Amino acid sequence: MNTILCSTFEQKNSYMKKKLLNNTLVKGIVDNFLVKKEGKSILKNIDKRNLVKDGIIDSLDLLTLASIIEKKTGKKILISNPKIYNKFNNYNKLINILS
């Protein structure tokens, strides 16, 4: 029984580490993209803004970001899925797009 619990814990721990690494990688990609586009000041209060409605990213930026994230992580971003597409409106949701 303890072996099963230990194995389950290790699996969860491994999953959480991968999730954290992915989120950190995506955050770096998004931050770098936004800073190159708008300058460092764009990151101030970015988590309180709507990235699309506020004009921080447009449709081409959305596709570019999705492509960069796919290339760097090896994970497909299905922009045609409304749930995935809507994650690009919010910085924190975008950072967690692979979750």
> Closest Cα to residue 26, out of 78, 65, 58, 84?
65
pLDDT band at 15 (very low <50, low <70, confident <90, very high): low
Q: Quote the pTM value.
A: 0.80
Q: Give the whole-angstrom CA distance, residue 58 versus residue 90.
A: 13
Compute CA 30 distance to the chain's CA centroid, rounded to the nearest angstrom: 7
Q: Helix and strand tally (H, E) in the chain?
A: 4, 0
Give the start-to-end residue ranges of the domains of the chain: 2-95
Give Rg (Cα) of the chain: 16
* Distance in angstroms (rounded) separating the CA atoms of residues 80 and 60: 14
**Mind listing the pLDDT tens digit for each residue in 23-79?**
899 999 999 999 999 999 999 999 999 999 999 999 999 999 999 999 999 999 999
